[in-house]
């Protein structure tokens, strides 16, 4: 435990840190070692009632929002092609699924959703993006408008927000022209026919939306999977960052000029990346960045004496596996594959997804790759040997049996974009498993970028942050927050591989941007079943401690044939909390948009300033709860709270009692939401 005693001097003017403020680099020796052995979290999934629906492989994240205005965050889970869930928070630590009663019929290729009061009427609406039937057709987004009581009507067409031909990924809401009305960026992958892409929609005075290419946010030639609203140039104005899994960022836009977006030089570059967290990591009141790795690695696992599972993107000239067994080889590929078998290379096309997945996909109008599982007999001469080819030059999948070794060989040659996933099983015992070319798979490790206000740039401080020795892991999702309420920002990473759900990681901050790995993720290491997908944060029981929801249906780009329907169990981790103080803040704009999106909030305690951004809570496939959370250490009050609103209004409120959630209305009035 520690208080928020200042270990650096900040010059604060109207709540904004000056560019001349002194800063402390990650790695300075004034931090306090966090108690990493403390169990912070308990898995309360069953007790909380979050068990009604499990994902069909792909959960596609979650989104927190208060649908009924009772102050308790409710939870949306998309579940992609299976039934979505809307969990109502009952206020007693439990939830119930009310999706059918509140929203009615849901359908299709569901992707990221966001809660937002886009019509400025004081209640949260729900916007769900759709994926355009995997670019095979048209499927409109769904916009559920709240009637004020937590019941909704679908009005995407009337509002002009269908965007139905796009392979929609996630929405990002912001007020682009400072008129007090929220506009929206719908991110999307590219279609092969180029029919639609990431588009910006401007809100008109009548509450409807129109595409506005002139604003400059559209990306007709680049796939965009996620977008963030955060300050990446130190001017205290939140910028728009567009990114993809393959490159971060795609584009960055300075929003200081309300008449048109100004494209900026990327603050840093990283790839591949599945998610990024923006927060003040070293306590200087500027926004830094944590970039966990996304590593689509080659992996093979022997599950039992007769079954091998594999996922092999081609990253070298040739990659493959040897399976020693004298039995027949049964092969099941996730995607349709054309394979060359034996020394003569006779062609065979086969592949099979799980029948349950196919059934659901067909019902929704999709086209499946399913064909029969295929078996090869080692005694059949045409299956023996491997066809002659030049590794890395001749594209193909080659399979053959070598009688003298009693070994089957599977090779993936050439095309680096091809990935093969599936299952090999034998009628007899598999006595050994060999890997060919696996040494070349990429390594992964989290990177830290600290804003340097003197030079107006990000400096990479990975080696000074304690993360250079964090080890090799692949990440799907990240969330940052003060999980132990000790006045500094920690972070939690959902990790996984293509074949197994690896333990998630919690890194605790010592106050200077140095991070220490907490054993068992403080109790939130997570399940070993399914595949980690996404994490979101919310204090769902208003006890001042940030809780987390982890979805484990991460099936995109993974080996789906190796997992059963519903195997990816979602998990709710409740934070036990401690004796440290806290303050949580909801914003209510008047001249600004009602949600206060685009605002920056500063809290001063004991000479130290903390900062949070009201950036819509959006990150990859997910939305954290909008309520801003501050840990206060041993302090029992906040010396000064400063809100910089999107309208330009600056409110300063002094001497606020700790340990409660408050609503701050533009103009400086506050009232307590819960305590």
Q: What is the pLDDT of residue 317?
A: 75
Answer for the pair 131, 364: CB distance below 8 angstroms, yes or no: no
CA distance 412 to 1: 53
CB atoms within 10 A of CB 317: 14
Per-residue b or e along 460-469, where b marks 16 or more CB atoms closer than 10 Å to that residue's CB: ebbebbbbee
Q: Residue 21: which region, alpha, beta or left (left: phi > 0; alpha: psi -120 to 50)?
A: beta
Answer for the pair 658, 633: CB distance below 8 angstroms, yes or no: no
The CATH code belonging to domain 581-674 is 2.60.40
Segments in 73-119 forming alpha helices (H)? 99-103
Residues of the chain with pLDDT under 70: 1-3, 5-33, 36, 52-57, 295-297, 313-316, 334-337, 349-372, 415-418, 439-445, 463-464, 466, 468-472, 555-567
The H-or-E segment that residue 662 falls in is: strand 660-665
Q: What is the pLDDT of residue 314?
A: 60
Two structure tokens written together for 376: 């090869």
Q: What is the pLDDT of residue 316?
A: 59
CA distance 583 to 612: 12
3-state helix, strand, coil in the chain (%, to 5): 5, 40, 55
pLDDT tens profile 547-603: 999 998 875 545 555 555 456 789 999 999 999 999 999 999 999 999 999 999 999
How many C-alpha atoms does 20 have within 13 Å on its Cβ side?
3
Q: What is the pLDDT of residue 396?
A: 83
How many C-alpha atoms does 104 have within 13 Å on its Cβ side?
10
Two structure tokens written together for 197: 């892409």
Backbone angles phi, psi at 159, to 5 degrees: -85, -10
Answer for the pair 620, 575: CB distance below 8 angstroms, yes or no: no
Which positions ≥6 away from 590 have C-beta within 8 Å?
665, 666, 667
Q: What is the pLDDT of residue 643?
A: 98
Domain ranges of the chain: 44-296+442-575, 299-353+368-436, 581-674
Report the number of secondary-structure helices (H) and strands (E) in the chain: 5, 51
Peptide bond into 662 cis (omega under 30): no
Q: What is the pLDDT of residue 499?
A: 78
Answer for the pair 642, 14: CB distance below 8 angstroms, yes or no: yes
How many C-alpha atoms does 74 have within 13 Å on its Cβ side?
25
First-to-last CA distance in the chain?
Answer: 21
Two structure tokens written together for 7: 């270990």
CA distance 308 to 303: 6
Degrees to nearest 5, angle at CA 96 with 74 and 675: 45
Q: 3-state DSSP call for residue 315?
A: coil
Backbone angles phi, psi at 324, to 5 degrees: -90, 115
Q: What is the Cα gyration radius of the chain? A: 26
Write down the residue that tokens 């306590």 correspond to: 283
Residue 330: closest CA among 408, 228, 217, 447: 408
Q: What is the pLDDT of residue 450?
A: 95
CA distance 565 to 351: 18
Q: What is the pLDDT of residue 347?
A: 86
Answer for the pair 374, 348: CB distance below 8 angstroms, yes or no: yes
Q: What is the pLDDT of residue 297?
A: 66
The structural architecture, per CATH, of the domain 299-353+368-436 is Sandwich (2.60)
CATH superfamily membership of 44-296+442-575: YVTN repeat-like/Quinoprotein amine dehydrogenase (2.130.10.10)
The H-or-E segment that residue 99 falls in is: helix 99-103
Answer for the pair 541, 574: CB distance below 8 angstroms, yes or no: yes
Peptide bond into 272 cis (omega under 30): yes
């Amino acid at each position: 435990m520690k208080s928020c005693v200042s270990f650096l001097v900040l010059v604060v003017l109207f709540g904004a840190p000056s560019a001349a403020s002194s800063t402390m680099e990650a790695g300075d020796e004034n931090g306090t070692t966090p108690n990493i052995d403390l169990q912070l979290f308990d898995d309360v999934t069953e007790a909380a009632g979050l068990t009604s629906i499990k994902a069909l492989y792909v959960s596609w994240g979650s989104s927190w929002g208060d649908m009924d205005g009772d102050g308790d965050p409710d939870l949306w889970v998309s579940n992609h092609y299976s039934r979505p869930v809307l969990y109502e928070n009952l206020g007693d630590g439990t939830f119930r699924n009310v999706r059918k009663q509140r929203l009615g019929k849901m359908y299709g290729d569901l992707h990221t959703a966001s809660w937002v009061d886009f019509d400025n009427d004081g209640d949260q609406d729900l916007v769900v993006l759709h994926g355009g039937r995997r670019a095979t057709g048209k499927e409109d987004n769904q916009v559920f408008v709240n009637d004020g009581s937590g019941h909704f009507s679908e009005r995407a067409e009337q509002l002009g927000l269908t965007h139905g031909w796009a392979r929609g990924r996630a929405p990002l809401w912001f007020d682009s022209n400072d008129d007090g009305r929220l506009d929206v960026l719908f991110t999307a992958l590219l279609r092969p026919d180029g029919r639609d892409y990431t588009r910006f929609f401007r809100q008109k005075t009548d509450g409807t939306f129109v595409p506005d290419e002139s604003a400059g946010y559209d990306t007709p030639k680049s796939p965009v999977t996620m977008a963030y609203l955060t300050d990446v140039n130190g001017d205290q104005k939140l910028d728009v960052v567009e990114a993809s899994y393959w490159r971060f960022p795609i584009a960055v836009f300075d929003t200081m000029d309300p008449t048109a977006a100004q494209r900026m030089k990327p603050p840093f570059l990283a790839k591949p990346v599945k998610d990024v967290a923006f927060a003040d990591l070293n306590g200087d009141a500027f926004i830094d960045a944590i970039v966990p790795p996304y590593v689509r690695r080659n992996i093979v696992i022997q599950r039992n004496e007769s079954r091998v599972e594999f996922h092999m993107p081609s990253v070298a000239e040739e990659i493959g596996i040897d399976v020693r067994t004298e039995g027949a080889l049964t092969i099941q590929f996730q995607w349709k594959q054309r394979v060359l078998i034996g020394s003569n290379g006779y062609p065979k096309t086969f592949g099979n997804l799980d029948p349950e997945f196919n059934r659901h996909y067909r019902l929704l109008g999709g086209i499946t790759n399913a064909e029969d599982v295929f078996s090869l007999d080692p005694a059949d001469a045409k299956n023996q040997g491997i066809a002659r080819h030049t590794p890395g030059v001749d594209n193909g999948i080659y399979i053959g049996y070598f009688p003298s070794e009693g070994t089957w060989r599977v090779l993936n040659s050439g095309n680096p974009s091809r990935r093969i996933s599936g299952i090999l099983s034998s009628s007899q015992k598999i006595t050994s498993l060999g890997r060919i070319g696996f040494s070349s798979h990429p390594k992964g490790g989290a990177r830290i970028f600290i804003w340097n206000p003197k030079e107006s740039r990000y400096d990479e401080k990975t080696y000074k942050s304690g993360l250079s020795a964090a080890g090799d892991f692949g990440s799907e999702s990240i969330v940052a927050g003060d999980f132990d309420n000790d006045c500094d920002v920690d972070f939690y990473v959902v990790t996984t591989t293509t074949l197994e759900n690896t333990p998630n990681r919690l890194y605790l901050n010592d106050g200077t941007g140095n991070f220490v790995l907490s054993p068992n993720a403080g109790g939130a290491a997570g399940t070993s079943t399914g595949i980690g997908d996404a994490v979101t944060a919310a204090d769902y029981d208003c006890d001042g401690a940030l809780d987390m929801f982890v979805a484990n249906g991460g099936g995109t780009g993974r080996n789906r044939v190796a997992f059963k329907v519903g195997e990816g169990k979602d998990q709710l981790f409740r934070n036990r909390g401690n004796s440290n103080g806290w303050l949580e803040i909801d914003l209510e704009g008047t001249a600004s948009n009602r949600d206060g999106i685009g605002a920056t909030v500063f809290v001063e305690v004991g000479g130290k300033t903390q900062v949070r951004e009201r950036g819509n809570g959006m990150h990859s496939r997910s939305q954290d709860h909008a309520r801003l959370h501050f840990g206060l250490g041993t302090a029992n009050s906040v010396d000064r709270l400063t809100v910089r609103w999107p309208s330009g209004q600056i409110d300063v409120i002094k001497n606020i009692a700790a340990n409660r959630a408050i609503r701050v209305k533009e103009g400086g009035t506050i009232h307590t939401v819960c305590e």
